[in-house]
Structure 1
């Protein structure tokens, strides 16, 4: 995007594009008209946070290729700005762009812990592990101020409810006190995503995520606290990060991870043009090869949303990555299946009742 199309400077952002979402009927383009002021320094685009009062917070799915059937998202959008993030298209449902809006116009859900407490207390609720961080990162920078994730953990811990967390954020270390206590009861495990060990590439691709070395330190500190940690080599970008697969797994193991996983780069809907713009800007010599590999794995398309294929792809290249992963985790001792988290300890929160309050506890 050239200077005439910009309204802001974009330091620390994953994309320079704010193309409209798929539901928007109109598009707007900025054009230099020669008027005075066009050469003035542009302001920096700042993060904006609005508030949503949710009616429910537990989202259920029936996807056969996911290891969980329910999840919670404390935030909509993610300031980490990972250009490849498959959650970007979800911003289109809000009338916002999956591009810059996704990483700069965020929505916090401060009432989520109270709503969660109400949902867990419902008579019809059946306990099963809740996943957090599967869409947007619960430990993105704004969590430091809003503390929604910590409040959610307090509710889950009080109810002895199992939780699986996925993050790239070092802020999770703040909650080691809660997480270690839950882990001791068999109620918690954490996955830390390490996309690359190259700090320069990481800064370009995921600009507001802690550096790879810092994420390995997070694994180490969680493991030292007795929290089971999985190193996630995700996403694997063909011809860019996939040569690092074994090195990422070994670094994770050395830091204390006891399990591992991988996912291939996914480019659903608006993510594909954003990723292609990024490749053209930063890796033009590899852009064609990367996209060709993805199309090979998805039957000629840039993405295949079918279950069991969307996260790994098909064909010789996908099979080669899968074989490399299987050999590496066996050699590194990361192929051990973790025991299931405990559901038998669940204790529903007390339901609010004015009549019961008359009689005390």
Structure 2
């Protein structure tokens, strides 16, 4: 396949008639494979909506989210979003990592939704399901349009990511923060590079993410870090947690959130198959710890809290990630197109 046929504005005259029904329902335009992302298929779709409203019973501090992708090249073994790929008639294992659905029109759809009179400018979260700064963002550049639309509409927003590509958009995010509250968080749960590559094979290294934290704070933002999930018997030792929180504090983070891994739906089988292959001695302990449910026992949760709390206090990481109040917003995000096009690494 020649590169000219892979550009986003290329005309696709013969769509794959063999597309899975789930993808067809999702608004599939075409499926693309590119030389720089070997083994990955991008399924470009036209979405009908961008804002997702959470159920009323949700306890999260926001009610709306935006997801630019379905599936994630990070390939984290424990990802709780894996079962969502089954709605597309794709599997929650390898397909989730390699069959990535791209909402190519998501920024335009979001802008229309934010312009509605009924929109109350409630906070919007990005990165709660799949990562908006996974490597695919380097090709599709969806986030600049989303950030601009949110800021110009007066909508506060937060971003959670493992992806160092966020650095590309720091100038734009700085402009946005002058109009609306912007919260930036980095996910970093594994400090051991070898273990990190085994469990999160598509993610930037721990060192690269520590550099991202520094870049965020150097740009004037507070940076919260998700030290989650803690993986029982692999990343819950006092030595690992102490070293990780020390490094996070040294990088300039203002706070951390720590909680244990949960194994929902088909994610459970995917992770336990990996565990059986690489750490078979832990399988019995996991069966005892998780039983037949998705969550660890209350006893383990209490034990982890008691282990982590002194370390959080020790390194001064009890703060939050909310940026200070912005200046009065202007309607147009001046300079929005000026963000430099940096590469992922």
* C-alpha separation in 2, matches of 1:157 and 1:318: 38
Residue 327 of structure 1 and its aligned partner are, at CA, apart by 2.0
Query: Structure 2 vs 1, CA of residues 180 and 221 (structure 1 numbering), >3 Å: closer, same or farther?
Result: same
Query: Structure 2 vs 1, CA of residues 342 and 108 (structure 1 numbering), >3 Å: closer, same or farther?
Result: farther
* C-alpha separation in 2, matches of 1:346 and 1:227: 18
2:121–2:154 CA contact under 8 A, matched in 1: no
Tell me, yes or no, if structure 1 residue 163 matches structure 2 residue 151: no
2:228–2:260 CA contact under 8 A, matched in 1: yes
Tell me, yes or no, if structure 1 residue 151 matches structure 2 residue 145: yes
SS of residue matched to 1:201: helix
Aligned to 2:82: 88
Whose Rg is larger? Answer: 1
* C-alpha separation in 2, matches of 1:346 and 1:85: 37
Tell me, yes or no, if structure 1 residue 54 matches structure 2 residue 47: yes
Query: Structure 2 vs 1, CA of residues 323 and 344 (structure 1 numbering), >3 Å: closer, same or farther?
Result: farther
- CA shift digits 1:322-348 (9 cap, x unpaired): 122222222222113455776996778
Paired residue for 2:292, among 290, 298, 301?
Answer: 301
Aligned to 2:254: 258
For structure 1, the residue ranges without an aligned partner over 5 or more in a row are: 1-22, 24-43, 305-312, 350-361
Residue 99 of structure 1 and its aligned partner are, at CA, apart by 0.8
* C-alpha separation in 2, matches of 1:149 and 1:344: 22
**What TM-score, normalized by structure 2, do the two folds share?**
0.80
CA root-mean-square deviation = 2.3
Count of matched residue pairs: 294
* C-alpha separation in 2, matches of 1:208 and 1:88: 15
Tell me, yes or no, if structure 1 residue 126 matches structure 2 residue 109: no
Query: Structure 2 vs 1, CA of residues 91 and 338 (structure 1 numbering), >3 Å: closer, same or farther?
Result: closer
Residue 292 of structure 1 and its aligned partner are, at CA, apart by 2.5
SS of residue matched to 2:201: coil
Aligned to 2:8: none
Paired residue for 2:279, among 280, 283, 288?
Answer: 283
Aligned to 2:318: 335
* C-alpha separation in 1, matches of 2:329 and 2:292: 44
Aligned to 1:9: none
* C-alpha separation in 1, matches of 2:324 and 2:58: 19
Query: Structure 2 vs 1, CA of residues 63 and 348 (structure 1 numbering), >3 Å: closer, same or farther?
Result: farther
* C-alpha separation in 1, matches of 2:178 and 2:258: 26
* C-alpha separation in 2, matches of 1:314 and 1:235: 15
Residue 302 of structure 1 and its aligned partner are, at CA, apart by 3.4
Tell me, yes or no, if structure 1 residue 320 matches structure 2 residue 303: yes
Query: Structure 2 vs 1, CA of residues 346 and 67 (structure 1 numbering), >3 Å: closer, same or farther?
Result: farther
Query: Structure 2 vs 1, CA of residues 160 and 236 (structure 1 numbering), >3 Å: closer, same or farther?
Result: same
**What TM-score, normalized by structure 1, do the two folds share?**
0.76
